[in-house]
Amino acid sequence: MRALAPALGDAMVPRIARVRRRRRECPQTWTLEIEPEGAPPDVRFAPGQFNMLYAFGVGEAPVSASGDPAAAGPLVHTIRAVGAVSTALVRLGPGDAVGLRGPFGSGWPLAEAAGRDVVAVAGGLGLAPLRPLILRLLAERERYGKVALLYGTRSPLDILYRRELETWRRRLDSEIEVTVDHAAGGWRGNVGVVTDLVPRAAFDPLHTIAMVCGPEVMMRFAIAALIEAGVAPDAIWLSMERNMKCAIGHCGHCQFGPAFVCKDGPVFRYDRVRDILALKEI
């Protein structure tokens, strides 16, 4: 399932792509569907990989692929406007040009998950890098044991992919739980942090593989909750999406101890980065 990144020479040159569709997910967050120009290049990716998107005249930023890796058609990226580049990207409309490099990085361990229970824990925008994984798990449901998605966000207004989550929840072969940190009177779902959902989820910790993505503080607490529930540290994977600039480990901005997040990650097995993750200075 894992796609190889382009050769180094090609990776450094953005391809021109065009925005085909743009939809608002929640305040400050948009999903763009983009398609490379000309003869369709190989744009396959593995769940968990990312692309570098270039807003012409502004700059470049890493953005996780959030579409279905098995589906033909445009690439899907969900972007929150938090800086100059991401703001420029979400302002693009149908027909606008965007630079595209990738895919880069390591993906979620789907092969290792076969035959096991799978628990995905997402916080906020962290659902976007996990969405390709969930789509594959549900599309090939017979390959896995129990499947659970535990998703937490700040408020009901910040929920990503709301209609899709509602569709997934109607299935009888998976567990989809959503919680919010705080809510007004119209919310009838869970209120509390996402780690509160871990003890309530139905999975066999001795035969479970867990995938975690979200703010680092949330991931630390989610990992602690999973370990307390009995999941082994070497069965927990996390996505570290911090400070990536060049995507090939050349600039050094994303150095994470002896590793580079863009090149050696962004998906890491927890036991291999546990000591580094515990250091606030890293």
Model-level pTM? 0.91
Query: Helices in the chain by DSSP H: which ranges?
Result: 8-11, 84-90, 110-113, 127-139, 162-169, 216-228, 261-264, 270-277
Domain 8-104 has CATH 2.40.50.140: no
DSSP string, 161-175: SHHHHHHHHT-SSSE
- Nearest CA among 67, 120, 60, 21 for reference residue 248: 60
Pick the CATH number of 110-239 from 3.10.310.70, 3.40.190.80, 3.40.50.80, 1.10.10.10: 3.40.50.80
Q: What is the dihedral of CA 61, 151, 21, 88, to 10 degrees?
A: -30
Beta partners for residue 54, in sequence order: 60, 99
The tally of CA atoms less than 13 A away on the side-chain side of residue 10 is 12
Q: Are 192 and 163 in contact (CB under 8 A)?
A: no
What letter would DSSP give residue 253? T
Q: Are 149 and 17 in contact (CB under 8 A)?
A: no
Cα dihedral sign for 219, 118, 152, 48? positive
Q: Are 179 and 196 in contact (CB under 8 A)?
A: yes
- What does the domain layout of the chain look like in residue ranges? 8-104, 110-239
The tally of CA atoms less than 13 A away on the side-chain side of residue 77 is 31
- Nearest CA among 166, 48, 63, 167 for reference residue 109: 48
Question: Do the domains 110-239 and 8-104 match in fold?
Answer: no
In tens digits, the chain (282 residues) has pLDDT values of 433 344 444 656 778 999 999 999 998 999 999 999 875 555 678 999 999 999 999 999 999 999 999 888 899 999 999 999 999 999 999 999 999 998 999 999 999 999 999 999 999 999 999 999 999 999 999 999 999 999 999 999 999 999 999 999 999 999 999 999 998 778 888 999 999 999 999 999 999 999 999 999 999 999 999 999 999 999 999 998 777 888 888 888 888 888 888 888 899 999 999 988 877 655
> How far is Cα 230 from Cα 205, in angstroms, rounded to an integer?
5
